């Protein structure tokens, strides 16, 4: 819950929001309620990256169940002031590590076509 403020900052950043699937703008209360529901479900793994002890971004990995247990989806957000510093790359590396740990073979990131920031790959094979 301590991350709601800076996650709201990312959600309401016009440059970041134009590439997001979520509704824009969002209040801190809305982000807090979303976080509570996500944590209560316990379906995903969530990691926060820090730069100089300040939150710089986050990645969430959601793995499937049943027949989809070898597939995971991820969501990633980086604060604009930390763009170009390798935070996204570090978060992607962590997402791949988590997916491997969960036994996933494929990791998907859905992006809009106009989003030039993430890698052009829409899927990553995580198994050697």
Return the pLDDT at 55. 94
pLDDT of residue 11: 83
pLDDT at residue 117, as a whole number? 58
Rounded CA-CA distance 79/98 in Å is: 22
Structure tokens at 124: 């990553």
pLDDT at 122: 46
Tell me the pTM: 0.77
Q: Which residues have CB under 8 Å from 38's CB, separation 6+?
A: 44, 46, 60
What confidence score (pLDDT) does residue 91 get? 94
CA distances in angstroms from 27 to 8, 37, 93, 94, 108, listed in the order given: 7, 16, 30, 28, 28
Regarding the domain delimited by 4-125, which CATH topology (the fold level of the hierarchy) does it fall under? Answer: Aminopeptidase (3.40.630)
Mean pLDDT of each 10-residue bin along the chain, 128 residues long: 84 76 80 87 88 93 87 90 92 92 86 58 52
Query: Where are the domains positioned within the chain?
Result: 4-125
């Amino acid at each position: 819950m301590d991350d709601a403020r800076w996650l709201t900052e990312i959600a309401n950043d016009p440059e970041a929001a134009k590439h997001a699937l979520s509704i824009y703008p969002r209040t801190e209360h809305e982000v807090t309620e979303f976080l509570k529901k996500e944590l209560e479900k316990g379906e995903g793994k969530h990691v926060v990256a820090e730069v100089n002890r300040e939150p710089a971004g986050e990645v969430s990995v959601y793995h499937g169940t049943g027949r989809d247990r070898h597939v995971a989806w991820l969501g990633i957000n980086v604060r604009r002031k930390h763009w170009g510093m390798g935070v996204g790359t570090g978060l992607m590396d962590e997402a791949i590590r988590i997916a491997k740990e969960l036994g996933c073979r494929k990791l998907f990131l859905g992006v809009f076509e106009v989003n030039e920031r993430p890698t052009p790959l829409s899927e990553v094979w995580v198994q050697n």
